[in-house]
Structure 1
């Protein structure tokens, strides 16, 4: 499938600021997942959509992990700051997120449940610091049982700035190409 011939969306959740990268806490001007989403946008020409919770996560990294764990335990569905105007116009959805506690942040679940994605193709990608994709792909398949979920891409957060070749290889592996 040529991604230039289909209407694709790059929906992602990303958290700038204090993040755990390469064994330490660093302040990121853009979250790791946003960096990857932007690279996918450059290759595919798709539309970017930032999934954001109405209630912002704490600035402190450790506090954010605690809130994320509480949300996961409660199976929370945080309200989102904005919504897609024409969700039906997208055939292919690149879905990006950091791996939080083995899966997607709860606002990503909110996003997936907000729209009828039956018949859509979802290409998941995540950033992590050693935990890989976790159970997030299984969670996507459970949440969107009538969608086609492609093979995922997991990129270590400390390596995202040099991930262009890895992203291009993943696109080729899952049968997606871009016009050059």
Structure 2
């Protein structure tokens, strides 16, 4: 069976250890691409049809509003099926102690029976928070493996940690 890396990532203005700066490739996307090199897994980007604003303050306000509303944003596309995959690496930034709501849209669309989800998140101090439990609730039938948290500001140096983590499960 094949492996899939499904990830949500955001470029534009981001927060890095107390400072903001514009980036052209999101931190989670960088980690997902490193993981793909290490595992040979296919990549799928979870993208909202209506993306959050480029401005950081506006983005976090939009993300918080979606969280409070329990929103399930429409996605640009979804895979037709996940049948050919038995392992799914799920990458996301930590937004307000959980995943972006678009990740819930993805998870709730499929039956994950017989599949293992390996969560990894980027953050600037929140770690995984309760996301492993959130995934377990949203991904019907999945076995959720131990996750990995990566500081977004250190993502360029994350390959050794990703390699070690991906070989444990």
TM-score under structure 2 normalisation?
0.97
Aligned pair partner of 1:15 in 10, 14, 17: 10
Runs of 4+ in structure 1 over 4 Å off? none
Is 1:102 matched with 2:97?
yes
2:137 to 139, 142, 163: 142
SS of residue paired to 1:161: helix
Equivalent residue number for residue 118 of structure 1: 113
Instruction: Give structure 2 stretches of 5+ with no counterpart.
Output: none
TM-score by length of 1: 0.91
> Equivalent residue of 2:47, what SS?
coil
> Could you tell me which of 156, 167, 173 is aligned with 2:162?
167
In the other structure, the counterpart of 1:54 is 49
What is the root-mean-square deviation of aligned Cα atoms in Å? 0.9
What residue in structure 2 maps to residue 77 of structure 1? Answer: 72
2:127 corresponds, among 127, 132, 135, to 132
